Structure 1
Amino acid sequence: MKVNQDKCRYQCYHCNYRTRDKYNLTRHIERQHLPRENDGRRRSANYWCSLCYSLCESREKMQRHWANEHEINLSVETVSFKSFEKFNEWKHEFEKQEKCLYVKPCGTRKRKKKGSSYSTYLCHRDGFFRRKGKGVRNVKSKGSNKINGCCPASMKVEITAEGDVNVRFVRTHLGHDNELERLPLAKQEKDSIAKRLSLGIPFETVLDDVRNANDISERMHLLTRQDLENIVRDYGLNLTNVRQSTDFVSVEAWITQMRDTTNLVRFHKPQGALSPRFACLNENDFILIIANDAQLELLRKNGKEVIYMDGLHQNGSNLEMTTVLVIDDSGLGFPTAFMFSNRGDSEILSVFTSVLRDAIGHTLETRLFVSDLMKGYFNAWCEVMPRPLNRLYSTCHVVRNWQQNLNKIAKKEKRIHALQIVRALMQETEENVFNRLLVSALQELVNDPDTTDFGNYFASKFSPNSRSWAFCYRRQYTGVPNSQIESLNKVSKHVFLHGKRVKRLDKAIEALLKYVQDRLHHLHHQPSPKSKNSEASCIKKRHKIALNQQFSVSPYEAGFRVVQNNVHHLVSEHLPLCNCLSRCDECDICVHSYRCSCPDWFVKRNICKHIHFVAMQRKRVPVEVAPAAHHMPLPIPQVSPSNVSVMSHNSNNDGFNFDALGGWTPSAIQMYDQNQPQPVPQPVQPTWHTIQQPSCDVSAKIRKCFEMYRAIEEQLTCDEEVDVLLNALKPVLPTIQAMKNARRGISLQRLLPK
């Protein structure tokens, strides 16, 4: 059986043997390269080098391997103590200083002759990861603490018969970094936290006391809510944290407490009372507006660029929560104010914006305002604040509105196809292509009897306002809120309320304040381990996709054209490499290095698979971008919008292709008209699977092809002549592709569909 060498990432250190499984490599080394015992049996090798794939029979031989092969000399230090308690104190301070942990893999052994005992302590990241369960649950997002190799850091402790302790230790670590988030909480720290929790102190208070530290130098400073949950589970604590049995009584008690200590409550109007400040509120209205000083400061600072205003669904008390968000310095959405009210019309929203204006001390002129499709939020903002320069619709509200109106289509397959068409329109990043697709999509939806109602709805409600929802018009707005902002209600409910739905107002307020406090902590300190590892996992996932998929890349003007399944995306350089955390070390790029026209980068600002592929190709074959003259696009005849329509959706030539990361994307445009002469389609540009500049001979031949095409174009006068040209061009692209496959040595079996 032939093994694909590209997938064999484990290579023998002693020979050229390669395999895809680590177990096979271990078995190969034991059978082929380890010496035999006197009885003919092979020796066992249990020590893997953390820097290469070498195996050794003992830790001492592994140390000689590091010295000989990697030129790493490990210095052994010795220290003595009068008692074992002194040793434990020294060990605790040493681990705290070095940000590491030494554990005992086995018990203490005794020497009968000398009357002494000895034990060995190893680095807690030394060894291999072994599943303890049945493999149902996935591994943590940050991965296992084990490095699947040997770390030289160790301690050999000998306790003499007199009680003295002699320690020989190695402080050098290999194969990993000393990271605080990889360390567990010490037993003394767990005991103190469990004692506080047993007294009824809430989680928020415990986390606040820990996070008041200015620096993060201990594992205790990275305490998370999950750590507290684990302590409650391990110590068997039963905690309850409810202020009052009645919702509004609990809220009134909380408001009284907050007004006495902080200025968090900006405005409150209880039910059964009138407000002298706002005469538009009646006696049955309830309004609670909360925002701390840090939130208002972010609103003053970052509200000049983008304001996102949205109302979340109601909780068990029939109260609607309205929130105002901005984009923080890290590019994520940040809530700056919350309002709980019994109704969400323009009068209540005007009260909200008036309170915010008085809280920040002046009116706020923003460049971009984002909200749902209704005009309530926008009109309420314009009544108090200056009118924003631009307005956009929230993406989630647009898609939700489309999905709710799909019931206008009776057939299920027609619903799916119609949703694919409008999604492709939204995700198109080129304005000229979007305008053509919009006209053709309207024609297709309206002319089809099954989708006529949906087409008329789309034409009347969304076609005139395309600048408010289409991605191609958002190119100038670099800080448009993404899906993380639009799912704030899910974060506040599912992360901080144990996955339960919000049924009480007091619990909703506690969850939101906790969310804001943690975001402020992460904004002014380093990001949490979970957020860093989740982003790194996203980058690694797209890098793996770029390795396993086939792309065609060619220089194009100021960038590169990446083609896959007839879907074209343009990748261009953006900014030089910076020191941000969103980076791919294998490609040596960060999220600001390149731009791409795909929705994954254009909307979500991720390092997409196209950028990974271009970066890897440029790293292998470092070239400059080819001049635009060598890849001049062929002239396209002027086509009126009435001549353009979307390709029919069928199994042979889909009008839309599904991108694994970006969704449905238009792959081609078919231009035809029964009453007018056929326009000549744009020929496909030649592509190279490795980025390289064409030679002078190739460039001359390409220019000659252009001249021949122009000469043919001048002779075209009727449909029959255009059909002759189309029939002649059909076998050209498959022939070129077959020649490329033959040069690359790709078997025909890989080209066949699965």
Structure 2
Amino acid sequence: MGLKCIICETKFTTRTNLNKHMKNIHKLKPTTLCYDSDRSKWKNKCLEKGCNNSFRNNTDLINHLSESHDIKIESEEIEFVDKDEFLDWKSDIEKTFKSNYAITSGYSKDQPVTYYSCNRSGKIPSRGSFKRRGKIQGSCKLNSRCTSMIKLMEGTNKLSVTWVKTHYGHTTELEHLRISKTEKSIIASKLFSGVPPSRILDSYRNNIDEDDPYRENFITRKDILNIKNSLKKTKPSNLQENKRENKLPREVNKPVNLKKTLLSKIMNIRTKLRNKNISQLDDEVTILIEGHLDTIDELLDLPCTSSTSYCNLSDDEPALPAAKRRELKNSEIHESNFGESHVSHSATDDHSYFESSI
């Protein structure tokens, strides 16, 4: 028999019988269970040396730690205007305190209630012969529950939050934290814009603060490839539309005056750069811009085959071979801007002109 009363040490075969005994004989609520076998453990366990008590809920465990072991568990009451403000706050504390909270459950007769538990809480999953291989760093689960949690109560005009700040049963281990949704979105946008995974990886490794590292500083190539694979499974609707358009006959696609289009956009970009301090651009934006420029440069170096001949440099000019374009790139460029006077200067002069204009 694995269950016994902590007062009279009477043993029972089931938890129900023990609860009835506690209520009828000792006139107590059956909140504490002394365990001596795996099947009799409640998930909220005291992990202090020499104490083998487990508890039905988190509140009872917190009270036990405070009263019996003099462990202070801090909590905080907060109010928010709407759900977006709450989610922003939750994201901030997860990054600041290097933790993750996941929705577990919740209900109430009066108002909607949602419970968020520390992601370290829970049982370590079994690894049978037909299950997938375990993680190198091991499971993040504790085989017990951490005291830290968030209780969200949604009222009519406000959201009330009870946040138990103190974690119990584990230390801060970055390898067991998840990449935030915000960071995943940033990586996904870079991949979608053509930034190579190696450059994304370098941008995180170059910004590591050794005194106060974050989970994002330890992003691996595997993490980035996982996000890339998820993009393939969930393509945006505009990509599906573009894919459909590409299946139309070639005759429907009109030739593009690429040279005029490029010069038009260059003039527009030059105007924006003249009025903006480039040194103040965010690193993420800088990487995206560089990625776009590299992609354009690589595309212009591609040879024009018969399948792409409809996209000429101008309406009446044939597509030039890549070698010829590179030769022209280092020579003078002749083209008018929206039908106005011709501008002729070398690639080097063009670069210096941009710098003087900024």
> TM-score under structure 2 normalisation?
0.51
Q: CA deviation at 1:135?
A: 4.4
| Partner residue in 2 for 1:180 | 174
| Partner residue in 2 for 1:294 | none
Larger radius of gyration: 1
Q: CA deviation at 1:182?
A: 1.4
SS at match of 2:88: helix
| Partner residue in 2 for 1:84 | 83
In structure 1, distance between residues paired with 2:63 and 2:141: 22
Q: Which of residues 152, 162, 165 is equivalent to 1:157?
A: 152
* AA at the equivalent of 1:235: L
Q: CA deviation at 1:138?
A: 3.5
**Taking structure 1 as reference, are residues 192 and 139 closer, same or farther at Cα in structure 2, changes over 3 Å only?**
same
* AA at the equivalent of 1:109: Y
| Partner residue in 1 for 2:224 | 228
Task: Return the structure number with greater relative CO, CA threshold 8 A, min gap 6.
Answer: 2
SS at match of 2:225: helix
* AA at the equivalent of 2:160: N
* AA at the equivalent of 2:145: C
SS at match of 1:167: strand
Q: C-alpha offsets along residues 23-53 of structure 1, whole Å, 9 cap, x if unaligned?
A: xxxx97949976547799x998633315154
In structure 2, distance between residues paired with 1:89 and 1:150: 25
- Pair 1:49-2:48 in alignment: no
Q: CA deviation at 1:131?
A: 4.1
SS at match of 1:236: helix
Paired residues for 1:546-557 under 5 Å = none
- Pair 1:130-2:104 in alignment: no
| Partner residue in 1 for 2:340 | none
Q: How many residues align?
A: 213
Q: CA deviation at 1:97?
A: 0.9
In structure 2, distance between residues paired with 1:132 and 1:192: 34
| Partner residue in 2 for 1:681 | none
| Partner residue in 2 for 1:204 | 198
SS at match of 2:116: strand
Q: CA deviation at 1:214?
A: 4.1
> TM-score under structure 1 normalisation?
0.26
Q: Gaps spanning 5+ residues in structure 2: where? A: 34-39, 235-358
Q: C-alpha offsets along residues 620-654 of structure 1, whole Å, 9 cap, x if unaligned?
A: xxxxxxxxxxxxxxxxxxxxxxxxxxxxxxxxxxx
* AA at the equivalent of 1:86: E
Paired residues for 1:342-357 under 5 Å = none
Mapped contact 2:120–2:146 kept (Cα < 8 A): yes
Q: C-alpha offsets along residues 451-500 of structure 1, whole Å, 9 cap, x if unaligned?
A: xxxxxxxxxxxxxxxxxxxxxxxxxxxxxxxxxxxxxxxxxxxxxxxxxx
In structure 2, distance between residues paired with 1:229 and 1:188: 17
SS at match of 2:89: helix
- Pair 1:109-2:107 in alignment: yes
In structure 1, distance between residues paired with 2:23 and 2:69: 31
Paired residues for 1:629-644 under 5 Å = none
Mapped contact 2:75–2:166 kept (Cα < 8 A): no
Q: Percent identity among equivalent residues?
A: 26
Q: C-alpha offsets along residues 690-735 of structure 1, whole Å, 9 cap, x if unaligned?
A: xxxxxxxxxxxxxxxxxxxxxxxxxxxxxxxxxxxxxxxxxxxxxx
* AA at the equivalent of 1:155: I
Paired residues for 1:110-509 under 5 Å = 111=109, 114=110, 116-131=111-126, 135-162=130-157, 164-215=158-209, 217-236=213-232
SS at match of 2:73: coil
In structure 1, distance between residues paired with 2:14 and 2:68: 17
- Pair 1:72-2:71 in alignment: yes
* AA at the equivalent of 2:44: W
Q: Gaps spanning 5+ residues in structure 1: where? A: 1-9, 18-26, 239-754
**Taking structure 1 as reference, are residues 132 and 86 closer, same or farther at Cα in structure 2, changes over 3 Å only?**
farther
**Taking structure 1 as reference, are residues 184 and 138 closer, same or farther at Cα in structure 2, changes over 3 Å only?**
same
Q: CA deviation at 1:137?
A: 3.4
